[in-house]
Chain A
Amino acid sequence: DQQVKQNSPSLSVQEGRISILNCDYTNSMFDYFLWYKKYPAEGPTFLISISSIKDKNEDGRFTVFLNKSAKHLSLHIVPSQPGDSAVYFCAASPNYGGSQGNLIFGKGTKLSVKP
């Protein structure tokens, strides 16, 4: 039973346009969410996070939005660049600050940014 779902296995976007990656979760106890980016044969790289007390967090070209009532979060990348092409994983944690350490990951969305 998947607690974190990324329903789009892949996404293709033109360079310069906005990329929107979506993530849904089922457990209302999750209170901290993270996005990781992964290139082939490398480990996941932390991108951006958001706690449940916020609905938006921005870092440069990356913005994460959280809609707690819908149990939905999204990652916006604007403008998209070819170097953004990678697999993006959404992850959730059941505790913030006193975490058990158990991050629960979605299956990932493969983003392709075309020049």
Chain B
Amino acid sequence: NAGVMQNPRHLVRRRGQEARLRCSPMKGHSHVYWYRQLPEEGLKFMVYLQKENIIDESGMPKERFSAEFPKEGPSILRIQQVVRGDSAAYFCASSPPRATDTQYFGPGTRLTVL
């Protein structure tokens, strides 16, 4: 059973470009979460999604950031017009329908904004 998959593992963007980060949850998992980790910091919650629904986006910046989890395909975290401060590791986690507290994490995408 494959774990949570994230791609790309590394992403380099210039200021003003768009970044798209993809996450495929573990098989049988219908809940997806995105977290961001800045250097020397813990992981910070961004958004919690179920298929076609955003359940909690209280950790998402108000502008430039959006997330989706379509009926088919991976979850996408989209960052428009990236700035240097967006440079971080972005982790996706998933959980099964009846155990929404134990989250299993992917390997992360390291975003570098030049």
Asked whether A101 lies within 8 Å of B48 as measured between CB atoms, the reply is: yes
Q: In the complex, what distance in Å separates the CA atom of A101 from the CA atom of B57? A: 11
Kindly state whether residue A105 has any CB partner on chain B within 8 Å.
yes
Asked whether A102 lies within 8 Å of B59 as measured between CB atoms, the reply is: yes
Asked whether B45 lies within 8 Å of A104 as measured between CB atoms, the reply is: yes
Pick from A42, A44, A46, A102: contact of B56, CB below 8 A: A102
Binds B, one of A53-61, A62-70, A71-79, A92-100: A92-100
Kindly state whether residue B102 has any CB partner on chain A within 8 Å.
yes
Asked whether A100 lies within 8 Å of B104 as measured between CB atoms, the reply is: no
Return the CB mask of A89-115 against B: 1 if under 8 Å, else 0: 101010111111111111110000000
Asked whether B101 lies within 8 Å of A34 as measured between CB atoms, the reply is: yes
Q: In the complex, what distance in Å separates the CA atom of A98 from the CA atom of B48? A: 13
> Count of B residues near A, CB < 8 Å?
29
Kindly state whether residue B80 has any CB partner on chain A within 8 Å.
no
Interface centre among B59, B91, B102, B110 (most CB of A within 10 A): B102
Pairs A–B under 8 Å by Cβ, sample size 19:
A4-B42, A34-B102, A42-B107, A43-B6, A49-B101, A93-B101, A99-B101, A100-B48, A101-B31, A101-B48, A101-B103, A102-B45, A103-B45, A105-B35, A105-B44, A106-B42, A107-B40, A107-B42, A108-B42
Q: Which residues of A have CB within 8 Å of B45?
A: 101-104
Q: In the complex, what distance in Å separates the CA atom of A45 from the CA atom of B93? A: 10
Q: Which residues of B have CB within 8 Å of A25?
A: none
Asked whether A43 lies within 8 Å of B100 as measured between CB atoms, the reply is: no
Kindly state whether residue B69 has any CB partner on chain A within 8 Å.
no
Q: In the complex, what distance in Å separates the CA atom of A43 from the CA atom of B91? A: 7
Asked whether A42 lies within 8 Å of B101 as measured between CB atoms, the reply is: no
Kindly state whether residue B4 has any CB partner on chain A within 8 Å.
yes
Pick from B6, B42, B58: contact of A105, CB below 8 A: B42
Q: In the complex, what distance in Å separates the CA atom of A96 from the CA atom of B55? A: 16
Pick from A32, A89, A91, A101: contact of B55, CB below 8 A: A101
